[in-house]
Chains A and B, each alone.
Chain A
Amino acid sequence: MSRVAILGAGAVGTRVARYLLASGSAGSVDRVLLRDVDPERLSGALAVLDEAAADGRVEVEHAPFPDQADADVIVVATPRGTQLRAVREALSGGIPVVLSGDGLAETVAVARLADEAGERGVPVVLGAGFAPGLSGVLAAHARSWFDHVEEIHVAKVGAGGPACALVHHRALSRLSYDWRGGGWRRRPGGSGRELCWFPEPVGPMDCYRAALSDPVLLHHAFPEVERITARMAATRLDRLTAPLPMLSPTRVEGGVGAVRVEVRGRRGTTQDVRVLGVAERPAVAAAAVAATTVEWALAGRLRVRGMASLAEMVEPVSFLSDVGDRGLVAEIFEGEHAVV
């Protein structure tokens, strides 16, 4: 009997539950506990999880929560500002954690618990979403084609849900961190425009620096790489309004998004570039990645018994194959001028 607790019944959390409870799922999740502060959101999630809820495989809890969730794995899919506490509580109970958050400040704060996770031998997967998450796995796979990787550049488009959209909105007006030549370089968010070609149907988008957690997690996974950057797609209006509060309400879920990972390095005596990407609705992709990570955790397939990014935790080819079974198709860019 395996039991998974999912904190946050938003666009990502509900989908993680649906993937894990789906009949014929590769994993062996018998029960799911969904926690959220909003009873209406939980009602919506129960409606989505119709069949499994009718079978009694879904439990819901809203605030005030009882003590520590009783689970084999905890998925943290809550909004920013709540993830650190959730990870700390899970660690104190010795329960493996899958964190799907993408905020820079909170990811760094959670990463400070790495020693505790290592001492307890509890797997804590940082950034198990679309980007960070799948982006790191793509980078790890692309790395296998090189003798020496010099640069990794990540770009992403789209937001999973309203909480994710808010993180992206704020990220454009905050400092970004790029790893370059052995140190962190701070640059203003919204600067450094670069045209990036994403897999169809997204296509070309202008991307800018932002306070994203990808470089931090990628540097942790690949400390030998000399240059690591991350950018996100934004419109002119996004950049102009980034310093202001987010006034207009966001939709429950955005359209199709994408991630693109460009890896540069040396193969033999030649310089080479590989560009990998995935196009999918960000909440769907993040949930597929998180659900697959949960299954790997339950099966004891995670490589690190401590805190690490997804790129360090999983074997990339098998993981890409598993998420491919959930409809996430990784693509490679081929042709002249693969890099714009």
Chain B
Amino acid sequence: MRMIRRAIAALWTTAAVAVALRAVGGVPVERQSGGWRPLEGPDLT
């Protein structure tokens, strides 16, 4: 019985950690240099 309780507790803990990790996410990525410009002129030939 104690074994089953421990197994259930372990499953709950794992699920809680997984949800927390999924919600928090990973390390943010720094902005890259560059930018967008309209496609025109020689780009559209």
Q: Which residues of A contact B (CB under 8 A)?
A: 141, 193, 195, 197, 199-200, 204, 206, 236, 239-240, 276-277, 317, 320-321, 329-338, 340
Instruction: Determine if B33 and A340 form an interchain contact, defined as CB atoms under 8 angstroms apart.
Output: no
A317-B45, A331-B39 given as contacts; is B22 within 8 A of A236 (CB)? yes
Q: How far is the CB of A227 from chain B (nearest CB, A)?
A: 21
Instruction: Determine if B31 and A320 form an interchain contact, defined as CB atoms under 8 angstroms apart.
Output: no
B3 interface hit (Cβ, 8 Å): no
Instruction: Determine if B32 and A336 form an interchain contact, defined as CB atoms under 8 angstroms apart.
Output: yes
Binary contact track B7-45/A, C-beta < 8 Å → 1, others 0 = 000000000000100110110010111111111000111
Instruction: Determine if B38 and A240 form an interchain contact, defined as CB atoms under 8 angstroms apart.
Output: no
Name the CB-closest residue of B to A138. Answer: B39
Name the CB-closest residue of B to A317. Answer: B44
In-complex Cβ contact of A277 among B23, B32, B34, B36 (8 A): B36
Instruction: Determine if A329 and B34 form an interchain contact, defined as CB atoms under 8 angstroms apart.
Output: no
Instruction: Determine if A333 and B39 form an interchain contact, defined as CB atoms under 8 angstroms apart.
Output: no
Report A-chain residues with C-beta under 8 Å of the C-beta of B35: 333-335
Count the B residues whose beta carbon is within 8 Å of the partner chain — how many?
18
Q: How far is the CB of A19 from chain B (nearest CB, A)?
A: 21
Q: How far is the CB of B43 from chain A (nearest CB, A)?
A: 6
Instruction: Determine if B29 and A334 form an interchain contact, defined as CB atoms under 8 angstroms apart.
Output: no
Nearest 6 A/B pairs, CB to CB: A335-B34, A337-B32, A330-B39, A331-B36, A199-B36, A195-B29
Instruction: Determine if B36 and A338 form an interchain contact, defined as CB atoms under 8 angstroms apart.
Output: no
A329-B38, A331-B39 given as contacts; is B32 within 8 A of A240 (CB)? no
14 residue pairs A–B, Cβ–Cβ below 8 Å: A206-B25, A236-B25, A240-B19, A240-B23, A277-B36, A317-B45, A329-B38, A330-B38, A331-B36, A332-B39, A334-B35, A334-B37, A337-B32, A337-B34
Name the CB-closest residue of A to B19. Answer: A240
Q: How far is the CB of B2 from chain A (nearest CB, A)?
A: 33
Report B-chain residues with C-beta under 8 Å of the C-beta of A338: 32, 34
Instruction: Determine if B23 and A197 form an interchain contact, defined as CB atoms under 8 angstroms apart.
Output: no
Q: How far is the CB of B31 from chain A (nearest CB, A)?
A: 7
Name the CB-closest residue of B to A194. Answer: B29
Instruction: Determine if A331 and B38 form an interchain contact, defined as CB atoms under 8 angstroms apart.
Output: yes
Report A-chain residues with C-beta under 8 Å of the C-beta of B43: 332
Report A-chain residues with C-beta under 8 Å of the C-beta of B31: 204
Report B-chain residues with C-beta under 8 Å of the C-beta of A332: 36-39, 43
In-complex Cβ contact of B44 among A195, A204, A321 (8 A): A321
In whole angstroms, what is the CA distance A141 to B43 when docked? 9
Instruction: Determine if B36 and A340 form an interchain contact, defined as CB atoms under 8 angstroms apart.
Output: no
Further 18 A-B residue pairs, CB within 8 A, beyond A240-B23, A332-B37, A337-B33:
A195-B29, A204-B31, A236-B22, A320-B39, A330-B39, A330-B44, A331-B36, A331-B37, A331-B38, A331-B39, A332-B36, A332-B43, A334-B34, A334-B35, A334-B36, A335-B32, A336-B32, A336-B34
